[in-house]
Amino acid sequence: GAGVSQSPSNKVTEKGKDVELRCDPISGHTALYWYRQSLGQGLEFLIYFQGNSAPDKSGLPSDRFSAERTGGSVSTLTIQRTQQEDSAVYLCASSRWGRQGERNTIYFGEGSWLTVV
């Protein structure tokens, strides 16, 4: 597609329920990132995928959070047993790695706004 696509755009869920957020990166981009933006805050790194390498999960806040990337393209971020503090905008981004490991511009999607009630 032309840009990074995320769904759903908005999600309201009850505390304790599981949610899945989807990200479809720009075609040809091998790197995919998830960030979280809490209300009025900057972005917080969650997880990074690069090609077939093991993902960098160092930013995941708890074991309730997991993510996978199937076929090197679409990614799903799953939050189990949601809590109110999970309410935030979850932003996905992708980029293409150039020659000599130089990372090119990261392109962000419009995010999925999660509200846990």
Partner 1 sequence: AQTVTQSQPEMSVQEAETVTLSCTYDTSESDYYLFWYKQPPSRQMILVIRQEAYKQQNATENRFSVNFQKAAKSFSLKISDSQLGDAAMYFCAYENQGAQKLVFGQGTRLTINP
Nearest Cα to 114, choosing from 27, 2, 17, 28? 17
* Least distance CB 16 / partner 1 (angstroms): 26
* Least distance CB 50 / partner 1 (angstroms): 7
Q: Would you mind telling me the total number of residues written for the chain in this entry?
A: 117
The residues binding partner 1 (CB under 8 A) are 31, 33, 35, 40-45, 48, 50, 56, 58-59, 89, 91, 93, 101, 103, 105-111, 113
Nearer to partner 1 (CB atom), residue 80 or residue 96: 96
Nearer to partner 1 (CB atom), residue 43 or residue 80: 43
Nearer to partner 1 (CB atom), residue 20 or residue 56: 56
Nearer to partner 1 (CB atom), residue 18 or residue 66: 66
Query: How does DSSP assign 14-83, residue by residue?
Result: -TT--EEEEEEPPTT--EEEEEEE-TT--EEEEEEEETTSPPB-TT--STTEEEEEGGGS-EEEEE-S--
* Least distance CB 58 / partner 1 (angstroms): 8
Contacts of 62 (CB under 8 A, 6+ apart): none
* Least distance CB 81 / partner 1 (angstroms): 26
CA distance 46 to 36: 7
